[in-house]
Structure formats: structure tokens, C-alpha cells
Amino acid sequence: MNIFRLSGDLSHLAAIIILLLKIWKTRSCAISGKSQVLFALVFTTRYLDLLTSFISLYNTTMKVIYIGCAYATVYLIYAKFKATYDGNHDTFRVEFLVVPVGGLAFLVNHDFSPLEQILWTFSIYLESVAILPQLFMISKTGEAETITTHYLFFLGLYRALYLINWIWRFYFEGFFDMIAIVAGVVQTILYCDFFYLYVTKLKGKKLSLPA
């Protein structure tokens, strides 16, 4: 494992921990529950191989943490702190993401095998757009809590580091995965405007974003 992949994994983990701590400490869920449901679906479909294969202790541990934290976040939003969840602004139509992504996963994949390739490909495609409900919610309300922007920043950093990881692996290992790279590029592009605002306009406790 190269340093860029490890840094990407740690950035991803940092984003998840930041979000969970924010929800638990504030006892409020001023985030998109729909994005979190999509991320839970991403991890579930990607890591079903936990039931069939073992790669390493690190790999298994990270997969279990991602899945557990994803469902813990969904539980906090829709059950424990449901009264604080702003469903009126979390109105993105997720079926407009899930259905096309599902169709694309069937049409464009490495190998037509349900568990190892179609579901994995589905998770890669879905992860690239899973943050859209959150970004849509922020644009609709016109603001985001500082802690939420930190969460989004580390998610974006994770994707950017993984792109560098793919480049590294291509040059030093001869490994190239077009599906993962294209999906990663799409996801990183979605964060570009947010990155600019985060770096240049993050002041005080809130970040204003254009509607």
C-alpha cells in the first residue's frame, strides 16, 4: 500500500469520525440523511466480499468500520435524533441517482458477475454522486455548519488522494482501473467549487454557499 492510498483511507475515516462526533455532541442532525443512506448502500454493496474472502486484517477492519459507521450515522439521523433532522430541505430525488447508476453498472463493468463485479461497480458509480443530496441541501439552505464543511472537505481530500493513488499505481505497478478512475474524477469535480469556498471563505462557525 502506498502513502497516497493510506492517506486517502485516513482522510475518509477522519470525515466519518468528524460527522459522527458532530451529531453525537450536538444531539442534532443538520446534514442530508439521504446522502448518508446512499453511502451506507455504497459500503454494503462494495464490501459483501467480507463474507467470501480475506485480504488482510487492515482491509477487513476498515471495511467493518466503514459499514458500521455508515449505519450508525443513518440510525442517529432517522431514529435517535430524528426530531432535529431537517427533512424539508433534504429533498433531493435519490431515485434519479440510484436507478441510472444501477443500469450503468449492468452495462459497463469489468465482468458480468453479480457479487464481485456488478455490485462493486454499482458502489463505485454510486459513491461518485452520493454527496449530491448533501450539496443540494447546502445550496438550498444557503449555509452549512462549520463541522459539516470539515466533513465534506475530508471526503473530497480522500477522493483527491485516491486519484493520486491510481496514478502512482499505474506508473509503479502497471495497474489501471478505468471505472474507478473515471468515477473518482467525477466525484472530485463535484467537490471543486466546495474546495474553493472552503479555503477562501470559511470564517467563524458557518460557511455560506450560493444557492
Is the pLDDT at 54 greater than 90? The verdict is no
pTM of the model: 0.85
What is the rounded CA–CA span in Å between residue 178 and residue 169?
12
Maximum alpha-carbon separation in the chain = 51
Range of weakest confidence among 11-15, 74-78, 177-181? 177-181
Band (pLDDT 50/70/90 cuts) for residue 136 is confident
Residues 82-127: tens digit of each pLDDT: 999 988 889 999 999 999 999 988 887 766 666 667 888 899 999 9
Radius of gyration of the chain (CA): 17
For residue 82, give the 3-state DSSP assignment: helix
Asked if residue 122 lies in contact with residue 105, where contact means CB atoms within 8 angstroms, the answer is yes
Band (pLDDT 50/70/90 cuts) for residue 39 is very high
Count other C-beta atoms under 10 Å from residue 79's C-beta. Answer: 9
Asked if residue 45 lies in contact with residue 120, where contact means CB atoms within 8 angstroms, the answer is yes
Mean pLDDT of the chain: 84
Asked if residue 137 lies in contact with residue 194, where contact means CB atoms within 8 angstroms, the answer is no
Residues 141-168: tens digit of each pLDDT: 766 665 677 888 888 888 889 888 888 8
Range of weakest confidence among 16-25, 131-140, 142-151? 142-151
pLDDT of residue 204: 47
Band (pLDDT 50/70/90 cuts) for residue 73 is very high
